[in-house]
Structures are given as structure tokens and as C-alpha cells.
Chains A and B, each alone.
Chain A
Amino acid sequence: MRKTTLFMLFLIALLVPTTPALAAVSSTELIENSKAYDGTTVEFQGEAIGDVMVRGESGWVNLHDGSNAIGIWASAAELREIRTAGDYNSIGDRVLVEGVFHLACPTHDGEFDIHAETLAVVKPGSRITHTVEPGKMIAAAILVPVAVVLFLFERRRRRYGVGGS
């Protein structure tokens, strides 16, 4: 329910360009001007990657926006909204957070993080289907037998002393 309202709000924000509450920031922008953004509320969007690490009441997720990944501290309930985290087999949920950015977070011993006030999945993740290239199959089909034959030949030679030393 909350997710959909947020999503609606987001859509409205997109449709009504008059007073955008916050400009979305990129990770590069945050890293390069970290001192300027320190302590301000920012909007950041990226793909959830790796693991969603829930620890008790709250937890961490790392969002990758294409250039860098940034750690997001959020409540456990909100983190559970994230279904898929990106890895080899899947593209993770695209997550939008709004929260306070810290260059050196006072509560997390100087982490470079965003404490999410709101968190919403903008676009659910999907599976990546990896197709096996035929070229690779052919190459493997040729190379593997050659390697095996050579290897066996060499072992035989070593064991029975055929040729060489």
C-alpha cells in the first residue's frame, strides 16, 4: 500500500515539474562535492546489489547508480520491500531513497552513507538470461579434446618413459 502511494507521489512529482522537492543526485556528484552535500537531504536512485543486510530493526543495502555504489541505512520494514538484489543472475530492484547524506556519519563511525527517510522500489528487478554463445561452444568442443589428449599422452609418457628423458 505504502509502496504504491509513494510510487504515485513519485509519478506526480514527475508530472508536476514546478516545485521539485529535491534534485536527484548521482553518486559521482555526491563523492566529488561531498562536503557541500554533507548533512543535507538528498534523493538518490540506484540498483540494489549483492545482499540486503537486515540487522534487527534496521539494516543496510547498497545502491549502485552505474558509477558507484553507496550504502543506504534504512528500517528493516522498508528494506524488506526490496525483493531482488542484483548479481550474476538478476538485475536488482531499482530503488529510490530520500534521506540525509553523511560524508562521515556520526552514528556509523564515519560511514559515507544516506540514512533513508523514505525508500521505494521504482522498478522491480528481473532475471538475466545468459545465452551461451555458439562460438564458445565450438571453441570448447575443439580445444578440450586436444588438451585432454595431450595431457593423457604426457602422463603416459611420464609413467612408461616413452621418448625423452
Chain B
Amino acid sequence: MLFRPRLVDYKIISFYTGKLIMGIGLLMLIPMAISLASQEWSPVLDFLIGASITIIAGLLTSIFCRTGKEMRWMHGILVVPIAWLAAMLFGAIPHYLGGHFATFFDAMFDTMSGFTTTGLTLIRDLDHLSYGHNFWRHLTIFIGGQGIVIVMLTLMAGGASSIYALSVGEAREEKILPNLMHTARFIRHVSLVYFVVASGVLWRVCVQLGIIPLRALFHAPNIFMAAFDTGGFTPQSQSIVYYHSPLMEFWTLPLMLAGAINFALYYALFSGNKREIFKNGESITMTLTIFAAFSITAIALAQAGVFNEVAPMFRRGFYQMISAYTSTGFTTVQSHHIPDIWGPLGVLTLVVAMGLGASIGSTAGGIKAHRLMVIVKAFVQEIKKMVLPPSAITVVKYHHLKKNPLTEKLVLNAFLVGMAYIASYIIGALMGALMGYSLHDALFQSVSAGANIGISSRIPLLDAPDILKATYVFQMWAGRLEFVSVLALLGFLVSAVRGK
């Protein structure tokens, strides 16, 4: 039995969506300021127009849809997927006006890729892009990575439970502190600390690499945002290859890893619980996965015979693996070159690393280590149940902040979401194959989109058919939101049509 939503339901959803849209508009003023400072007049206008349209649309929506009703859980979880689509639409306006995209759709693709911290890009002539636009690309990563909702939380007020629903929709399932406002503030604090410190370090590195200080000031925060929010855009078209520097790779590596760690774990670390990182089930799973994936990659690279010495193996193989696993998408090999020189085994290992993904509650994409751990433990539990006498009670536990028992509900959720990711990967690959690309290129690209990675295979994205681009957009969106709120949207649409 489904209930058909009433007008007031639509109104509540639109009201909050409108608020979020307006927030996006306000954020566009930051790149505008950058453009002003760089004396880029045309980009200033692009952002002015974009911000105005977005603010007007957001305000009108929330003015027309104002109700006295409080938001409920169901509304909250629906606002999220809708708001992300709206963010894609409006965020694309300044991009498109910048003139570096062939179509508005391409601009939307890049905006979604940014907000979902993916890093696939359809931009043309990136090396001549204005500072303002370039900053906006990286800012979308930062906003999307921190969570559009988390970023906006300070802008709005409302019932606490409904805001919690919002953040669940955005796949930050776990409340770090009981109060959500505190959570938002904590996430912001941690990120800001990282931002200042890491940008400073990266600036120093850039200067050492021979980049003039003013331009280094531009490279550093952009790279930081792309690395820490595991996004993978870079200011120049060659990704990290551009810097030709082990030093840059050395510093971005820990940033990517830091971005792929659960924020709840940070809270434990910041509040003095240092040993948690060694006991945490998820970080142990991550370490094991990285170790296994890199071992296979090393074998593959040794077989393929291109990067078979120690230094290249680390700078290309290990870096690439970490970039894939943390779902960042920085590359240290020439673009589109991975399939040629990594051999089938190497490519496959990368695909698996991408598909698995790092931590829950971080900006990384993919199935994620926590779920992997839960699923593995579910198998262990199953085996124990069979071997032990029926009277024995088997409880398998995992460590996250404290010892938690493995419940049926937990296992089922891990399976549901994990399977949804796999389905997304498969559908994307099928679409690629349908467009006539080879199977492993299609699979690689699909996992790269579905797990919000951003490494490209040989598929020339720029010339890809629009339907394939649209598939990737869908995959990025659903993958970033971890399917739950997308499923809710699906349920809502069904009940809008078939409910009573």
C-alpha cells in the first residue's frame, strides 16, 4: 500500500531544494572574486549571471513553496538527490558561459563530475581556462566532497531529525557527534585545518618545482581540494604528470589517503583516541586491500615490463593504485595510456581497486571497505554457524570506535548497497559495449564513473555519444549518494504514480 504524495509534500521538498539552490548561487561569488582579483572581466560576468540565475531560481522556489509544515524524514531524504541534480544544472551555467564546453550538456557533465568528486572531464582547452573558472571546477569538488547539505547546514534551520535525513541521503550515515550541527562544524574544522596546512605545504612544493610564487598560490589550493576531497580535477590538462615531480606525488599521496579516511575516525584521533586507527576494522580492511591490490599490480607491471624497476613501480604503479583506491583519479601516466602498458592483469586490478573504494563517511566512492569487511565477516559467521552445534550462539563482531556486533540488518544493508554498485558498474559497461567500445575499456570507464574515480580509459569521452555521457552522469550521481536516497526517489516516484 503506497500513499500518493500530497501537494504539501511536493511543497516541502521544493522549499528545501530551493534553499540549497540559493546556497549554490552564493558560493559562485567566491570564484567571481577570484576572477575580479585576476582582472578576468568576462569570467566575472559569467559568474555574476550564473549566481543571479541560481539565486533567483532558488529564492522563487522557496518563496512559492513556503509552508508552515515541518520537514519529515521522507522529505529530507528526497531533497538530496533532487538538490544534487539542481546543483548540476545551475553549477553548469558559468561553465558553459566560459566557452570551454561544446554543449551545455558537457558543462553539466563536468559539474556533476565535480560535485560527486569524480574527476572525469569534458572540458576543452583546459590550459587556457581562466583562474576563476578553474577555481570553480575545484570548488565544486570541495562543496560536493564536504557534502552540499553539510555545507549548507549552517545556512538553514529546521527540525533536527529531518536534517539528519538529509545527511543520510548524502551518505554520511554516521553521526560523529549526537548533534548534527556539531557534526557539520567538526567536518568543517577538520577540513579547514587541512586546507590551510596542506595548501601551504603544496605552495612551497610548487615554488620548489620552479613555478612562480603567484601561480603556485593558484595551483596549491586547487590541488589540495582535488586530493583531499578525492576529486581528481587538476588545474592543467595533464593531471599530476604536469608537475614531473616526485615531490608533488609524495605530498599528494598522504592527502588522498587522508581524504579517504572516515571522518568519525578523525574525531577519535582529534579527541585523543590515538589507538583507534590500529584497531578500526575499516582501516585494517583498507590496509589489507591496498597491500593486496598493490602486490598484484606490481606483478602485473613486472609482467608487462614497462615499469619494472622499483622507482617507476612506486611512482606510477603505487601512486596510480592509491589514486584509484581512494577514488581520487590523479594520474602519473600519460592520459589514455594505462590500458596499453599495464597489461590486462594490471588494468583489472585497478578496476577492482576502483570498484572497492576506501572508507565509509569519507569522500571516497565505491563499495567501500566497511561494507567489504561486513560482507567478509558475514561469510565467517555463516561458516561458524554451520560448524558449531545449533545450540551455540555465534556473534561476530567488528571494531569501529567500539566493538559492534554484526547484525542481520547491517549485513543486508552492506549487500544491498554493494550489489547496487556492482549493478551500476555493469550497466555502465554494457552501455559502453553497446556503443561499440571494447569490453575492458567500457568496464574501466564505467567503474571509474560509478565509483567516482575519474581515471580515463581509451574511450575518447569528448566524442562519446551523449547517451553514454548521460549514463556516466547517472552513475556518478547515484554512486556519490550511495543509492539510498536515489532508491527513495524511485520509491517516491512510484508512489506518486501508483499510490492512493
Give me the interface of A with B, judged by CB distance under 8 Å.
31, 34-35, 49-55, 59-60, 62, 64, 68-71, 73, 86-88, 91, 103-104, 106, 108-113, 128, 130-133, 136-137, 139-140, 143-144, 146-147, 150-151, 154, 164-165
Residues of B contacting A103 with CB < 8 Å?
306, 341
In the bound complex, CA of A19 to CA of B285 (Å): 61
Q: Is the CB of B128 within 8 A of A86?
A: yes
Are A34 and B244 within 8 A (Cβ)? no
Is B52 a contact of A113 with CB atoms below 8 Å? no
A59 to B243, CA, bound (A): 11
- Asked if B333 lies at the interface with its beta carbon under 8 angstroms from chain A, I say yes
Chain A residues, Cβ within 8 Å of B66: 164-165
Closest to A89 in B: B40
| Cβ–Cβ contact B63 & A154, under 8 A | yes
B53–A143 touching, CB < 8 Å = yes
Closest 4 CB pairs of A and B: A110-B312, A53-B210, A143-B52, A112-B334
Which residues in chain B, 227-275, are within 8 Å of chain A measured between CB atoms? Answer: 235-238, 241-244, 246
B197 to chain A, nearest CB (A): 23
CA of A160 to CA of B45 in the docked complex: distance in angstroms?
Answer: 33
The stretch among B54-62, B400-408, B440-448 that forms the contact with chain A is B54-62
Q: Are A113 and B244 also in contact (CB < 8 A) when A50-B127, A130-B42, A150-B59 are?
A: yes
- Residue pairs across A and B with Cβ atoms less than 8 A apart, 18 shown, are A34-B334, A35-B340, A50-B235, A50-B236, A55-B208, A68-B237, A70-B334, A87-B127, A88-B128, A104-B316, A109-B312, A109-B315, A112-B333, A132-B42, A140-B52, A143-B48, A147-B59, A165-B66
For the complex, count residues of B whose C-beta is within 8 A of A: 58
A86→B127 contact, CB < 8 A: yes
Q: Across the interface, do B237 and A69 meet the contact criterion of CB distance under 8 Å?
A: yes
Q: Do A150 and B60 have beta carbons less than 8 Å apart?
A: yes
A140 and B45 form a contact (CB under 8 A): yes
Q: Which of A34, A52, A137, A147 contacts B210 (CB 8 A)?
A: A52
- Residue contact A51 to B63, C-beta cutoff 8 Å: no
Known: A54-B210, A154-B59. A104 touches B127 (CB 8 A): no
For B56, the chain A residues whose CB sits under 8 A away are 143, 146-147, 150
B211 touches A136 (CB 8 A): no
Residues of chain B at the chain A interface (Cβ within 8 Å): 25, 38, 40-42, 45-46, 48-49, 51-53, 55-56, 59-60, 62-63, 66-68, 97, 127-131, 208-212, 215, 235-238, 241-244, 246, 306-307, 309, 311-316, 333-337, 340-341
* Main SS at interface, chain A: mixed
Closest to A107 in B: B311
Nearest-neighbour CB distance to chain A for B245, whole angstroms, equals 8
- B210 adjacent to A143 (CB under 8 Å): no
**Cα distance A112–B40 when bound, in Å?**
34
Contact B306 A110 (CB under 8 A): yes
Point out the residue from A31, A62, A136 that lies within 8 Å of B42, measured CB to CB.
A136
**Contact status of A112 and B336, CB under 8 A, knowing A87-B128, A88-B128, A144-B52:** no
Q: Report A-chain residues with C-beta under 8 Å of the C-beta of B25.
A: 147
A139 to chain B, nearest CB (A): 5
B68, A109: Cβ atoms closer than 8 Å: no
**Who on chain B is nearest to A142 by CB?**
B52
Q: What are the residues of chain A within 8 A of B51 when measuring CB–CB?
A: 147
Question: Which residue of B46, B60, B62, B212 contacts A51 across the interface (Cβ within 8 Å)?
Answer: B212
Residues in A neighbouring B306, C-beta threshold 8 A: 103-104, 110
Closest B residue to A55 using CB positions: B210
> Which B residue sits closest to A130, measured CB to CB?
B42
CB of A110 within 8 A of CB of B315, answer: yes
Q: How far is the CA of A31 from the CA of B458 in the complex (A)?
A: 11
Q: A55-B209, A136-B45 are in contact. Are A50 and B334 (CB under 8 A)?
A: no
Instruction: Tell me, in angstroms, the Cα distance from A136 to B309 when the chains sit together.
Output: 54
Residue of A nearest to B55 (CB): A147
B311 and A62 contacting across the interface, CB-CB below 8 Å: no
**Cα distance A68–B241 when bound, in Å?**
12
Report how far A80 CA is from B156 CA in the complex, Å. 53
A31 and B45 form a contact (CB under 8 A): no
B48 touches A140 (CB 8 A): yes
User: B127 and A64: CB pair below 8 A?
Assistant: yes
Return the chain A residue nearest B212 by Cβ. Answer: A51
Residues of A with C-beta under 8 A to B63 = 150, 154
Chain B nearest CB: distance from A126 CB in Å? Answer: 12
| CB pair B49 A88 closer than 8 Å | no
The answer for the CA separation of A73 and B244 in the assembled complex, in Å, is 9
